[in-house]
Chains A and B, each alone.
Chain A
Amino acid sequence: MSGLVLWKAEDGEEGAQRIAGRPAQAFWRRLRSSFRGVLLEPHRRAGDGRVSWSWTGPSDSASPGSAELADLRKRLAAGLVNLAAELERDEERGGGEALALHEGMQSLIGGLTAAPDAELAPFAVRTEMDWMIRSWGIVRPAAARRADESENELPAESVAALSAMVPAPLPALPVVAPADKKSAPGRRVVSWLLGGAVVLGLLALAYWGLREKPLKGLEAEPGQEAVLVSPPTASTAPAGGMSSAALHVGQEPFPTAAAGPVVPRIFSPQATASRLGGAPRSLEIPGKVVPVPMAYTGPISSPPEAEPRPPEVEADPNQGGHPDPVQASAGRVDQPPEGSDASRHEGFAEASSDLAGSAGVAQDALARISGERSVMPSEVTGRVGAQVRRDWPGSDSFGDLATASSSTGTSSPDAPVAVAPGVSGIAAQPKPVPAVPVKTNVGERDGAALLKPTAKAPAKAFRTRRAWTCRLGEWRLARTRDVALATVPSEVAAAGDAKEALATARRQAWEQVRAALPLSLRQPITRAGWVLVFTKATTAGGAPVWRMEPDGERRVQALAGTNRAELGWAEPLATGLVARLLGPDGVEWACVRVAEGGRTIAVHAGAEIAENAPWFEVRGGAVDASGRAAVEGFWRSLRSGWLDTRWQQDHSGEARRVYCFAVDPRAALPVEGVVALEHLPSGWALAREVQLDPSP
């Protein structure tokens, strides 16, 4: 079940990659923490300079498949990222060769990850736990052979050396003639020696018997077996005479409440817990750090929907983001009355500036995904407003378009792109959407009868094909990477001292990781929305339109292209809204209802919609008056049940957006996942739970 591979790597030998003049394996101590579990540990022989790799694995040396090799490449790349972060810290402390090591490992790992399967496979070995890489830093790996076979195959020179070590026969002892019986003194001496030898022999036997027993302090407990941990070697034998082999006696489960492997769960939102009938693992207390098992959920907590927003958030042009809890807990200022001209105008201006920045991301993504970046019907640009779009989708043209649409208040059904932008409602007091139960011909089977009927209601029936309800959790800070605590053996006086030392180390580590929290995640500005992909691409003149309810809704960013439409809003959304997507013939294609401050999104889609998904965007919070923090990181799913392989990410300097398309549009619901913007170097992520349920 074990294999052993020997590889000779001598100075100057072709095939051994060198970093800063030394073999790459010589840096294992610095690489170990980053590549543990991926790269096998090298062992260098002091005598001949050989580097050996040993591992325990199945006796049959099966070749790795493509999936295993792909996983190996992924882990290698992750290890390189970790190494870069660690070397960056070393560099700050004056580590001179960090740059050379990083470059060397970048080349080494890059060569491995870029190698085709046939070339990478010889490096891959199957250990007891997972596939790993051996002979790294070597161009051609040596052939692996079983360790037990190698033990019986001594090279000729070794046999000769062993033969030379066999001692020569001892010289024959002189034969002593029996003593004369008359010699009484001789007999007495013999008898003395005989008696003493017997006693000494008995004592020697007793002594060796005692040596077989455990040492003082190592008495094995009943039922436990003493195990030799490390065989004694001449090089490690101390001068004191005691065997240097460490003995460990017994192994016992550590008495803790938690058992089993720790999987760092990021968080378990209350919605899930309450739905499952369990107690919540976290407490949502705005402005306070709440300890959560296995994770740290930070102070990214938006105020409840019923609470007015703090004034500094309203004054921030980047509004829509979550206020800093410290600032949020500051005093509040009376807000201007809702609906006043001043508040509307101010909010409108804020909305324009906010949308101007985000429209580029949205439209770029929309155009790129739909493959129609330059498609914009000219009649739209001329009809919607006085400020004509310069480009479609231009970086700031959407803001102009939004301004025009809102100022004119037009929302005619014949407008190919109906835009109802603006986020002035964020600062307003929450106002529930009035439910007027009126019978309409629109989606009665979907519970859409509560929608306010208008004269612009679609003339044709809404053919609902599928319905979803998406529930969004609160944005939280989460740790995606654990940190080992730096501890050493220490002599303790009391039983609780060790735990106290560990708690101290953990507290210090928390302070360090908190200090490493990226600026962009401290006060992020978040947006959310929904994207609908059409079954068939429409023509430029036949693109659907969005219709907002209440009419003239200005808080929502709405886009509709020829094969894709999407809604978006800054979070939190103060009140609910209903958005209908109308086809060119007046048929309602989809209906999106947003409630609970944007936490609940109910979607009804007809046959015209092939696929739909929520999207999220994080923008860096304001660092100071000069600008915003650049957002770093990548979106990923933090739960295995929600695959992110089809997610579409759209990254710019200031924003990170993700469209969370399902792997299979007909995937079975519900989906309970966690979407996170992960910042790899710091191990922090901004995460929220997403639940997709089939609507009743």
Chain B
Amino acid sequence: MSCHKVARSFWPSVWTGAFSGAVLAAGLCFAACAGPARAPLAAAVVMVENHSGYLWQVEFFNRETTANVAAASVQLGPRERRRLALAPGGYRVRSWVAGAGEAERVSMPPRADAEVDLGGGRTYVWPLGTLLSEEAPDL
């Protein structure tokens, strides 16, 4: 066979293969977007709002893991707001006043840890405040 004949039969095959591959990839992509693989992309968004004048520290611990390593640990300055994205799941959350010299003046609630379930694609708000952050209510 001559080279010309070989080339004439080779390139159509390449294009056919490319088309087939594209169709296959598109199918895979569609399946990836529509199927269970999409779930990891939907993060749980937590808006942490510091309504006080103290420096706060917040920590999220994944309940599914036993290691004492925080999945997220953030410090918030006075009157600061931060946006966190976390993998959906159950968490133990902690918060405390972290400023040196400030922690002595602030009593923490007896139950320091709380457990929350964060759903993917949902937005949560976590307000942080103290008794004297604002005016005393009219009791």
Contact = CB atoms under 8 A, between A and B. Distances in A.
A479 B131 contact: yes
A229 B114 contact: no
B106 A482 contact: yes
Interface string A104-136: 000000000000000000000001011010000
Dominant SS among interface residues on chain B: mixed
Given A36-B98, A246-B74, A258-B79, 19 more contacts: A29-B113, A86-B110, A127-B100, A195-B20, A196-B18, A198-B18, A217-B43, A217-B123, A238-B89, A240-B87, A254-B80, A260-B78, A295-B136, A487-B129, A489-B116, A490-B116, A491-B124, A506-B134, A509-B131
B104 A484 contact: no
A116 to B, nearest CB: 24
A46 B67 CA distance: 8
Interface stretch (A145-153, A493-501, A529-537, A613-621): A493-501
Contacts of B127: 487, 498-499, 501-502
A215 B96 contact: no
Interface of B: 1, 6, 9-10, 13-22, 24-25, 29, 37, 39-43, 45-54, 60, 62, 64-74, 76-89, 93, 95-114, 116, 118-119, 121-139
26 contacts: A32-B96, A32-B112, A33-B103, A36-B98, A37-B100, A37-B104, A89-B110, A187-B9, A191-B16, A194-B14, A195-B15, A195-B18, A196-B18, A198-B18, A199-B18, A229-B73, A244-B87, A246-B86, A247-B84, A248-B84, A250-B82, A292-B136, A485-B131, A487-B95, A510-B131, A510-B137
A481 B130 contact: no
A236 B18 contact: no
A505 interface: yes
A129 B79 CA distance: 19
Tell which of A90, A230, A510, A514 has the most Cβ of chain B within 10 Å.
A230
Query: Which interface residue of A75, A93, A483 has the most chain B CB atoms within 10 A?
Result: A483
A251 B81 CA distance: 6
A241 B42 contact: no
B131 A216 contact: no
A218 B79 CA distance: 21
B138 A129 contact: no
Interface string A233-249: 10110101111111111
A181 interface: yes
Contact of B107 (A235, A482, A488): A482
A271 interface: no
A293 interface: yes
A662 interface: no
Given A37-B103, A90-B110, A247 B21 contact: no
Q: What are the 5 tightest A-B residue pairs by CB atom distance, in nearest-first order? A: A262-B53, A196-B21, A195-B17, A33-B108, A246-B72
Interface centre among B39, B68, B69 (most CB of A within 10 A): B69
A182 B2 CA distance: 10
A482 B133 CA distance: 9
A247 B103 CA distance: 27
Interface string A500-539: 0111011101110110000000000000000000000000
Contact of A251 (B80, B89, B99, B136): B80
A242 B25 CA distance: 22
A454 interface: no
B104 A252 contact: no
A38 interface: yes
A235 B61 CA distance: 11
B132 A295 contact: yes
B15 to A, nearest CB: 7
B136 A296 contact: yes
A79 B85 CA distance: 35
Contacts of B103: 33, 36-38
B106 A198 contact: no
B104 A82 contact: yes
A221 to B, nearest CB: 10
B104 A38 contact: yes
Contacts of A503: 137
A502 B124 CA distance: 14
A482 B132 contact: yes
A264 B88 CA distance: 38
Contacts of A484: 95-97, 106-109, 128-131
Contact of B40 (A242, A258, A259): A242
A479 B132 contact: yes
Contacts of B96: 32-33, 36, 484
Nearest to B52: A262
A195 B15 CA distance: 7
- Residue of B43, B47, B54 with highest tally of chain A CB at under 10 A: B43
B116 A488 contact: yes
A254 B81 CA distance: 5
Contacts of B138: 289, 291
B72 to A, nearest CB: 3
Contacts of A241: 37, 40
B100 A488 contact: no
Given A36-B96, A490-B125, A195 B21 contact: yes
